[in-house]
Amino acid sequence: MDSQDFDALEAAAQARMSPGAFAFLATGADDEITLRENPAAWRALRLRPRVLRDITAIDTSTTVMGDRVATPIMVAPSGRHKHFHPEGESATARGAAAAGALYTLSTTSSVPIEEVAAQRGSAPQWFQLYLFPDRKWQEALLDRLADNGFRAVVFTVDQPVGGWSPRCARTPVEPDPNIRHVNMPGAPIGLTAYDPTTKGKVLYPATFADLEWLARRSPLPVIVKGVLRGDEALRCLDAGAKGVIVSNHGARHIDTTVTTCEALPEVVDAVGDRAEVYVDGGIRRVTDVLKALALGARAVLVGRPAIWGLATGGAEGVTAVLEHLRQDLTRAMALAGVPTLAEATPDLVTAGKR
């Protein structure tokens, strides 16, 4: 797979999906301004390669929350993968594991936790969490995650209310009784946050007090996802979080937010050495990955590209996407004079012309 093949992968995935499933995957909120700006912001940065460095051995491995991974490119959480492939999240997890990449399972998964955990191999898995009012049920879920070998809880905090997508309103996902949120209370049919029945409703409210409770109760470290401000990153750490993910939810819920590329340096500066910082949002090229690492991210998460691979090739398709990115990262690191990820430092990038 080369860059041209990678660009064509989205169209190939669209051809295999229902119109509603593709619209849900591809869409952004409202006018989709941030959806366009997320990738553009990474591409606007310019690399400042180093020369005359020993690049005979390139090491793309790193650690995330203490676990060694072969690549700093992880799979971001997203729900209802059976809309994209019959095996759903089982195939996504298996494909990520084959590439030595970490996979984050969503609360809105269409496959049970235990089945996904069985695909892990030697690669760690995280679980993306929405909080529910029933604390006893929530506590049982946390213990279930620990029992099944998950390594961290990714607490998503930027979707208290579902956003709105005119694109999805015109081409909705048809509810399917065979595709359910099987890890949620009552295993409801897998409606999306853009479903008309949820418009304007508070879906997953949470406060800093909830984060404090979760950090105390969880047997796993808590990483907060959806942070775009340095001051709030610090508040999350003070409340017990062990890491933060700079994210605007793939530009899916509130439009015209700051891009994750622009927000990352402020969060990294605020957090310092207190915790690890990760980032997602619009990362499509390995040069984007290298720039994110240079700006202080420990690792990055990719969402839509992994689903393109899932839709076109199941587990093997996911592996192909991640292997393409890892192999190209090896080449980019060599050309930038960066043999290890630790050597991707802020002086490697500069602002380009927009």
Domains contained in the chain, CATH given:
3-340 (3.20.20.70)
Q: Residue 199: pLDDT above 90?
A: no
Average pLDDT over residues 133-155: 96
How far apart are the C-alpha atoms of 263 and 250, rounded to whole Å?
14
User: DSSP H helical segments within 78-218, as ranges?
Assistant: 89-98, 113-117, 135-147, 166-170, 208-217
The residues carrying an active-site annotation are 249
Summarize the confidence of residues 158-181 as an average pLDDT: 93
For residues 110-135, b (16+ Cβ closer than 10 Å) or e, as one string?
bbbbebbbebbeebbbbbbbbbeeee
Asked if the model's pLDDT at residue 345 lies above 70, the reply is: yes
pLDDT of residue 353: 59
Cα 282 versus chain centre, distance: 10
Chain segment 230-244, per-residue pLDDT in tens: 999 999 999 999 999
**Measured distance CA(283)–CA(306) in Å, rounded:** 11
Which tens digits make up the pLDDT trace of 119-139? Answer: 999 999 999 999 988 999 999
Q: Residue 3: what pLDDT?
A: 76
- Taking the alpha carbons of 139, 141, 147, 149 in that order, is the dihedral positive or negative? negative
CB 263 within 8 A of CB 50: no
Q: Which of 180-194, 210-224, 245-259 has the lowest mean pLDDT?
A: 180-194
Pick the closest to residue 143 from 67, 54, 217, 240 (CA basis): 217
| Distance of alpha carbon 285 from alpha carbon 254, whole angstroms | 24
Q: Phi and psi (nearest 5°) for 245?
A: -115, 115
Q: Which amino acid is at 14?
A: Q
DSSP 156: E
- Binned at pLDDT 50, 70 and 90, residue 5 comes out as confident
Q: How far apart are CA 252 and CA 315, in angstroms?
A: 25
pLDDT at 296 > cutoff 80? yes
Q: What is the pLDDT of the chain when averaged over all its residues?
A: 96
Query: Does the model's pTM come out above 0.95?
Result: yes
